[in-house]
Amino acid sequence: MVLYAAAFIAFALDLARRSAQVKAGNTVGVDGSVTTAPRVLETASVGSGVGASSAGGAASVAVAEAPAGERATDAADRAVATTGGRASGGRDGGQNLKGRFGADGSITQRSLSLRLGMAFTLLGFLLEVTADVVRGIAAQRVPWANMYEFSMTGTVLIIGVFLVVNTRVDLRFLGTFITGLVLILLGISTVNYYVVIAPLPPALQSAWLVIHVFVASLGTAFFALGFALSGIQLLQSRREVSGSALKFVKLKFLASLPDSTRLENLAYRVNIVGFVFWTFTLIAGAVWAERAWGRYWGWDTKEVWTFIIWVIYAGYIHARATRGWRGSRSAWLAIIGFAAVLFNFGIVNVFFHGLHSYSGL
């Protein structure tokens, strides 16, 4: 939780940095990189035969005329870039500056806080995976047989899905929301759900415990990512229409994120993956129920809410694909679906008693 908290702070600082740079009129990319407007420097004229001394003179002039607050080394490097990078007399001296200086003299800087956020998230993920594995070794079974263990495994998968998806699509701007959600879930489970290791009830002594619960956790992880994307989509859509995401708060960092259409498409894709896993969860649960209790469906509270979640996401996919429900309506359906997932996890498992009362509390 400490590492996830550090990641949350780093991601939040990145969003604050984005807002400040957008306000300053700079260009901020989805990856958090900031490109400042090119500045015209009155440096010494450099001819084709000029060597290190002339380039050094240009650098000294640039340092003298550098804008307030700019590091002298940055100004000198920028001046060297304008001379073709030949301060050392080599033909490829400027190649080390590629990616930092544009051809027009603009400067691109990457977000240190964003990189720190991903590093802390990865470290926290590895540590939590270790804790989850150790819990399983101590219990001599899979570590998701009660609410505490399910919370730990579920949050591991949420972070894992976030990290894996980032290898395909840059969604690091969701880091604040994902790590914040995981922090809340871990905090609640640590305070309220912790139990000592206990033997499994007879109904849980089945291979379906491995399959059914793990797939349900994986589906929940994809739904969590879709929830975060849909929430950002609503804010972005409002900003695009009215110029402000919220009435009293100006979330300028939204200008650096993908547009609402792109966010909606990404949310739709991850929610479809989650829906596939949840469909399997529903089917596997029915098969397991027949093995354990002699019937496929008994209208138990847990069974009903699992089906309600499936219906909400099925409606979301169907309405968007066939009825043209786009924009805020589809986003709200996705958010309602994940709210039902949280209700199923935090309320049904704890306060409703039935055949599925295996919270361990």
pLDDT digits (tens, 9 = 90+) for 8-50: 999 999 999 998 888 888 888 888 888 776 654 444 333 444 3
- Beta bridge partners of residue 28, listed in sequence order: 34
Distance CA 40, CA 211 (A): 63
Average pLDDT over residues 103-115: 74
pLDDT value for 101: 52
* Torsions phi, psi for 34 (to 5 deg): -115, 125
Residue 204 DSSP symbol:
G
Average pLDDT over residues 130-143: 93
Q: Where are the beta strands (DSSP E) in the chain?
A: 27-28, 34-36, 107-109
Structure tokens at 299: 């209208």
- Per the CB < 8 A criterion, the answer to whether 65 and 71 are in contact is no
Q: Return the C-alpha torsion angle 244, 248, 254, 260, nearest 10.
A: -50
84 pLDDT exceeds 60? no
Q: Where are the domains of the chain?
A: 12-109, 113-351
pLDDT value for 30: 87
For residue 245, name the pLDDT band (cuts at 50, 70, 90).
low
pLDDT value for 60: 39
Q: H helices within 166-206, ranges in order?
A: 175-188
Four-residue CA torsion sign, 29, 250, 8, 231 = negative
pLDDT value for 199: 84
- Per the CB < 8 A criterion, the answer to whether 215 and 277 are in contact is yes
Rounded CA Rg of the chain: 26
Residue 231 neighbours by CB distance under 10 Å: 18
* Torsions phi, psi for 358 (to 5 deg): -120, 30
pLDDT value for 354: 62
Distance CA 267, CA 177 (A): 14
Average pLDDT over residues 161-168: 95
Locate tokens 């894709």: which residue?
Answer: 269
